[in-house]
Structure 1
Amino acid sequence: MWGTIRWISSKLFALSILSIFLLIGFIIYLKGQPLPDQDIAYTTKIYSRDHQIIDNLHTEENRVHVPLEDISTHIVQATVAIEDQHFYQHFGVDVKGVLRAIYINFQNQSRSQGGSTITQQLAKNLYLTHEKTWERKFYELILTAQLELHYSKSYILEKYLNQIYYGHGCYGVEAASQRYFGKSASELTLAESTLLAGVPKGPSYYSPFLNYDNAMKRQKLVLHRMVENGYISQQEMDDALTSELVFHKPNVQTASALYFRDYVIAELVKLGYQEDQLRMQGLEITTTLNLGMQQTAAALIDEQLSKFEDLQAALVTVNPENGDILAMVGGRDYKESPYNRVLAKRQAGSTFKPFVYLAALDSGLSPVSKLKSEAARFTYDNGRQSYTPRNFNDFYFNDDITFLKALAVSDNVVAVKTNLMVRPSLVKETAQTLGIQSYLQEEPSLALGAFPVSPMEMTVAYGTIASQGIRIEPRAILEIRDRRGKLLYASETQQQHVHDPETLYILTDMMRSVFEPDGTGFRVKDLLPFDVAGKTGTTDTDAWMIGFTPDNVTSVWVGYDRDRFISRSESYQATPIWANYMAQVSGTTVPVMGHPTSVGESSTVTEPVITKQHYKQFPIPKGVAPLEICLDTGELAPANGSCTRTRTVFFVPGTEPVQ
Structure 2
Amino acid sequence: MRKSLKYCLLIFLVLIIVLIIVFCHKYLGEVQKDITDGYVISSDVNEKNFHPKQPTVIKDNANNVMKTLTHSQADYVPYQQINPMLRKGIVAVEDRRYYQHHGVDLTGVVRALTLSVFHRQVQGGSTLTQQLVKNIILKDQSQSFDRKIKEMVIAQQIEQKFSKQKILEFYLNNVYLGHGCYGMGSAAQYYFSKNQNQLNPGQAALLIGIPNNQVLYDPVVHPTAAKNRRNTVLYSWYQQGLLSKAQFNHYSHPNIKLQIHNFTYDNDVSQDYALNYAADNAVKQLMTAHGFEMKYLFNSDQEKNEYRSRYSQVYDKYYGELLNGGFIIKTTINQDLQQQLLKIVQQQYANYNQRDAEGKLEPQVASTIIDNQTGNVLAIIGGRTTQDDQLNRAISAYRQPGSTAKPIIAYAPAFERGYAPQSRVIDGPVGNVQNWYSGYRGSVTLRQALADSINTVAFKLALSDKDKSFYQLLGKMQFQGLYPADNNPILAVGGFTKGVTTTEMASAYSSFARNGKFVAPSNLKSIEDTVNNRTIYQNTHTKVPIYNSSASYMIINAMQSVVTNGLGKNAALHNYSYVAGKTGTTDFNHDGYFVGMTPRFTIANWTGYDHQQPLTEDQLHLPIQTFRAEGEFLVDYLKVPNTDFKVPNTVRRVGDSLYVRQEAVQKSVAQIITENYLAFNSAEINANKNRLNNLDYRLIYHLTKKQEQEREQVVKRAIEKYQQVPFNELGQYNQKVAQLQKIRYKNENVKRMTAKAEFNRTIMDLQRDLNLKQAQLQAQKENTRLANFEAEKSQIEAEREAKRKANVDRLMKQYQPLLDKVKTAYQNDTADKEQLKQQLERLINEIRSYGGNVPDPVIEVN
Asked whether the equivalents of residues 370 and 376 of structure 2 are also in contact (C-alpha less than 8 Å), the reply is: yes
Alpha-carbon distance in 2 for matches of 1:349, 1:311:
17
- Of 574, 585, 596 in structure 2, the residue corresponding to residue 538 of structure 1 is 585
Alpha-carbon distance in 2 for matches of 1:546, 1:285:
30
2:388 matched to which residue of 1? 336
Which whole-Å deviations, capped at 9, do the CAs of 1:458-490 have from their partners, x for residues lacking one?
222212212112121223321234669955343
Q: Name the aligned partner's letter for residue 510 of structure 2.
A: G
- Of 448, 462, 475 in structure 1, the residue corresponding to residue 493 of structure 2 is 448
1:625 equivalenced with 2:669 (yes/no): no
Asked whether the equivalents of residues 515 and 525 of structure 1 are also in contact (C-alpha less than 8 Å), the reply is: yes
| Residues 285 and 589 (structure 1), Cα distance of their counterparts in 2 relative to 1, 3 Å cut | closer
1:352 matched to which residue of 2? 405
Compute the displacement of 1:291 (Å).
2.1
SS at match of 1:342: helix
2:415 matched to which residue of 1? 361
| Residues 654 and 614 (structure 1), Cα distance of their counterparts in 2 relative to 1, 3 Å cut | closer
2:615 matched to which residue of 1? 566
Which whole-Å deviations, capped at 9, do the CAs of 1:257-276 have from their partners, x for residues lacking one?
34324424433542458434
Q: Name the aligned partner's letter for residue 559 of structure 1.
A: G
Asked whether the equivalents of residues 573 and 579 of structure 2 are also in contact (C-alpha less than 8 Å), the reply is: no
SS at match of 2:570: helix
Q: Name the aligned partner's letter for residue 532 of structure 1.
A: V
Asked whether the equivalents of residues 516 and 525 of structure 1 are also in contact (C-alpha less than 8 Å), the reply is: yes
Alpha-carbon distance in 2 for matches of 1:651, 1:38:
63
Alpha-carbon distance in 2 for matches of 1:254, 1:339:
10
1:255 matched to which residue of 2? 272
SS at match of 1:50: coil
Alpha-carbon distance in 2 for matches of 1:485, 1:616:
47
Which whole-Å deviations, capped at 9, do the CAs of 1:2-57 have from their partners, x for residues lacking one?
xxxxxxxxxxxxxxxxxxxxxxxxxxxxxxxxx99996664332122122443221
Alpha-carbon distance in 2 for matches of 1:616, 1:486:
44
Which whole-Å deviations, capped at 9, do the CAs of 1:497-531 have from their partners, x for residues lacking one?
233211211111111112103x1121231435143
SS at match of 1:405: helix
Compute the displacement of 1:449 (Å).
0.9
- Of 37, 48, 51 in structure 1, the residue corresponding to residue 63 of structure 2 is 51
1:467 matched to which residue of 2? 514
1:605 matched to which residue of 2? none
1:137 matched to which residue of 2? none
Asked whether the equivalents of residues 283 and 322 of structure 2 are also in contact (C-alpha less than 8 Å), the reply is: no
2:367 matched to which residue of 1? 315
1:478 equivalenced with 2:525 (yes/no): yes
Matches for 1:407-422 after TM superposition, within 5 Å = 407-422=450-465
Q: Name the aligned partner's letter for residue 451 of structure 2.
A: A
1:284 matched to which residue of 2? 328
Asked whether the equivalents of residues 424 and 443 of structure 1 are also in contact (C-alpha less than 8 Å), the reply is: no
Q: Name the aligned partner's letter for residue 283 of structure 2.
A: A
- Of 300, 312, 331 in structure 1, the residue corresponding to residue 344 of structure 2 is 300
- Report how many residues are paired: 380
Compute the displacement of 1:277 (Å).
4.4
Q: Name the aligned partner's letter for residue 404 of structure 2.
A: T
1:649 matched to which residue of 2? 657
| Residues 401 and 325 (structure 1), Cα distance of their counterparts in 2 relative to 1, 3 Å cut | same
1:557 matched to which residue of 2? 606
Asked whether the equivalents of residues 259 and 330 of structure 1 are also in contact (C-alpha less than 8 Å), the reply is: no
Q: Which moved more, 1:575-584 or 1:300-309?
A: 300-309
- Of 502, 509, 512 in structure 1, the residue corresponding to residue 557 of structure 2 is 509
| Residues 485 and 52 (structure 1), Cα distance of their counterparts in 2 relative to 1, 3 Å cut | farther
2:835 matched to which residue of 1? none
1:577 equivalenced with 2:630 (yes/no): no
Compute the displacement of 1:287 (Å).
0.7
Asked whether the equivalents of residues 318 and 459 of structure 1 are also in contact (C-alpha less than 8 Å), the reply is: yes
Q: Name the aligned partner's letter for residue 584 of structure 1.
A: F
1:16 matched to which residue of 2? none
1:494 matched to which residue of 2? 542
- Of 256, 263, 266 in structure 1, the residue corresponding to residue 283 of structure 2 is 266
Compute the displacement of 1:316 (Å).
1.4
| Residues 294 and 481 (structure 1), Cα distance of their counterparts in 2 relative to 1, 3 Å cut | same
| Residues 520 and 257 (structure 1), Cα distance of their counterparts in 2 relative to 1, 3 Å cut | same
Asked whether the equivalents of residues 289 and 476 of structure 1 are also in contact (C-alpha less than 8 Å), the reply is: yes
Alpha-carbon distance in 1 for matches of 2:422, 2:48:
78
1:525 matched to which residue of 2? 572
| Residues 589 and 494 (structure 1), Cα distance of their counterparts in 2 relative to 1, 3 Å cut | closer
SS at match of 1:503: helix
| Residues 295 and 36 (structure 1), Cα distance of their counterparts in 2 relative to 1, 3 Å cut | closer
Stretches of structure 1 that go unaligned for 5 or more consecutive residues are: 1-34, 62-251, 380-386, 591-612, 629-647
Which whole-Å deviations, capped at 9, do the CAs of 1:339-394 have from their partners, x for residues lacking one?
22222321111001113112222222221122344xx5433xxxxxxx14132xx2
Asked whether the equivalents of residues 463 and 471 of structure 1 are also in contact (C-alpha less than 8 Å), the reply is: yes
Compute the displacement of 1:443 (Å).
4.3
Alpha-carbon distance in 2 for matches of 1:566, 1:430:
31
Alpha-carbon distance in 2 for matches of 1:501, 1:410:
23
Compute the displacement of 1:300 (Å).
1.9
| Residues 532 and 254 (structure 1), Cα distance of their counterparts in 2 relative to 1, 3 Å cut | farther
- Of 369, 377, 384 in structure 2, the residue corresponding to residue 325 of structure 1 is 377
Alpha-carbon distance in 1 for matches of 2:516, 2:49:
54
| Residues 352 and 333 (structure 1), Cα distance of their counterparts in 2 relative to 1, 3 Å cut | same
| Residues 423 and 564 (structure 1), Cα distance of their counterparts in 2 relative to 1, 3 Å cut | farther
Compute the displacement of 1:430 (Å).
4.8
Asked whether the equivalents of residues 357 and 507 of structure 1 are also in contact (C-alpha less than 8 Å), the reply is: yes
| Residues 334 and 565 (structure 1), Cα distance of their counterparts in 2 relative to 1, 3 Å cut | same
TM-score (norm: length of structure 1): 0.52
2:800 matched to which residue of 1? none
Alpha-carbon distance in 2 for matches of 1:313, 1:509:
28
SS at match of 1:378: coil
Asked whether the equivalents of residues 571 and 627 of structure 2 are also in contact (C-alpha less than 8 Å), the reply is: no
| Residues 54 and 555 (structure 1), Cα distance of their counterparts in 2 relative to 1, 3 Å cut | farther
Alpha-carbon distance in 2 for matches of 1:418, 1:36:
60
Asked whether the equivalents of residues 320 and 472 of structure 1 are also in contact (C-alpha less than 8 Å), the reply is: no
Q: Name the aligned partner's letter for residue 658 of structure 2.
A: F
Stretches of structure 2 that go unaligned for 5 or more consecutive residues are: 1-46, 74-268, 291-316, 355-361, 664-862
| Residues 526 and 327 (structure 1), Cα distance of their counterparts in 2 relative to 1, 3 Å cut | closer
Compute the displacement of 1:401 (Å).
2.0
1:66 matched to which residue of 2? none
Compute the displacement of 1:280 (Å).
4.9
Compute the displacement of 1:450 (Å).
0.8
| Residues 334 and 262 (structure 1), Cα distance of their counterparts in 2 relative to 1, 3 Å cut | farther
Compute the displacement of 1:322 (Å).
2.8
Compute the displacement of 1:586 (Å).
3.1
Task: Name the one with the larger helix percent.
Answer: 2
TM-align CA RMSD: 3.5
